[in-house]
Amino acid sequence: MKKRYLIPALLILSVISLFVGVSSISPLDLLDFQSEETQIFLISRLPRLVAILLAGAGMSMAGLIMQQLSRNKFVSPTTAGTLDATRLGILVSMLLFANASMIEKMAVAFLFALAGTFLFMQILNRIKFKDAIFIPLVGLMFGNILSSITTFFAYRADVIQNMSAWLQGDFSMVMKGSYELLYISVPVFIIAYLYANRFTVAGMGEDFSKNLGLKYRSIVNIGLVLVALITATVVLTVGIIPFLGLIIPNIVSIFKGDHLQKTLPHTAMLGAIFLLLCDILGRVLIYPYEISISLMVGVIGSFIFLFLLFRRKAYA
């Protein structure tokens, strides 16, 4: 789990990702700027790579921030209803503004993601029975309630087909012109890094934060805004990628601890690597067809999640 292993792995996988696909492109083709290969490369392959990197890094960081602020290793956008709230937001934006632009959808989805996450944190504060595994179950239930509301209204409004596009994460649709919203997450990453120390302190509780002169509430709120921003952009551009925000921060925490200033870069990189790997596998396994990324991440991710659960039990 050292940077000197993560960076080369990221670079190698990125290059592989650029040159794996139905139409074969070799690096030599790129020398001719007018060739069809170069066009595919620029319109499809490069945007896809950028989207994977940003989404992978973003969802992992969102998960890390949520785990730190909720002080629970099993909380993430998947297990706290954030993803479901975002989807509900997208539905609302589709129903309210018939031809909603990307930015309008983004704004509504962001507000819903924020409200959903905030609501979950409120529920968390009120729960008396704070078992580590009980909390994500509450989150999953909360998410399912939101999800069923979404399905109900989507069904009534006959937009189920439309909605399912956001049900499953999919990078094969990512093309020039459809993914640029993801760049919003770049400044969010920078802000998250600048706040890393404060998040770490907040993760040690309200009393601990106040002792060090920190305004606990505002730090938590800033964290939730960042999480909601990342989630909303990712869900809108590539769809739901489950488990990523859960697994990656946990793996990094085992090896590197919870000092966010030290672990945020690793978490972002490992998230991008994991997602790249899943995407490449998904593209290769049933070539020339593709397994969707949310299925790949879901299958591999749930095995790792189970492993983490059992590992935790062995320690307790």
Partner 1 sequence: MIQVRELSKLYGKKQVVENVNVDIRRGQITSFIGPNGAGKSTLLSMVSRLLDADTGEVLIDSTNTKKMKSNELAKRVSILKQSNFMNVRLTIRELVSFGRFPYSKGRLNDEDEKMVDQAIEYMDLKEMEHSYLDELSGGQRQRAFIAMVIAQDTDYVLLDEPLNNLDMKHSVQIMKILRRLVDELGKTVIIVLHDINFASVYSDRIVALKNGRVVKDGPTEEIIQSSALKEIYDMDIPIQMMDNCRICVYFNS
Kindly list the residues in this chain that would bind partner 1 in the complex (CB under 8 A): 68, 71-73, 132, 196-198, 200-201, 203-208, 210-215, 253, 257-259, 261
Min separation Cβ 257 and partner 1, Å: 4
Rank residues 156 and 262 by Cβ distance to partner 1 and give the closer one.
Answer: 262
The DSSP string of the chain is --HHHHHHHHHHHHHHHHH-SSS---GGGGGSTTSHHHHHIIIIIHHHHHHHHHHHHHHHHHHHHHHHHHT-TT-STTTTSHHHHHHHHHHHHHHHSTT--HHHHHHHHHHHHHHHHHHHHHHHHH-S---TTHHHHHHHHHHHHHHHHHHHHHHHTT-HHHHHHHHS--STT--TTTSGGGGGHHHHHHHHHHTHHHHHHHTT-HHHHHHTT--HHHHHHHHHHHHHHHHHHHHHHT----SHHHHHHHHHHHHH-S-HHHHHHHHHHHHHHHHHHHHHHHHHHTTTS---HHHHHHHHHHHHHHHHHHHHHHH-
CB of 81 to partner 1, least distance (A): 21
- Closer residue to partner 1, CB minimum distance, 203 or 242: 203
Q: Which is nearer to partner 1, 177 or 213 (CB)?
A: 213
Smallest distance, Å, CB 262 to partner 1? Answer: 8
Compute the least distance from the CB of residue 218 to partner 1, in Å: 11
Given the complex with partner 1, which of 150 and 209 has the nearer CB atom? Answer: 209
**Minimum distance, C-beta of residue 9 to partner 1, in the bound complex (Å):** 24
Residue closer to partner 1 by CB (options 47, 245) is 245
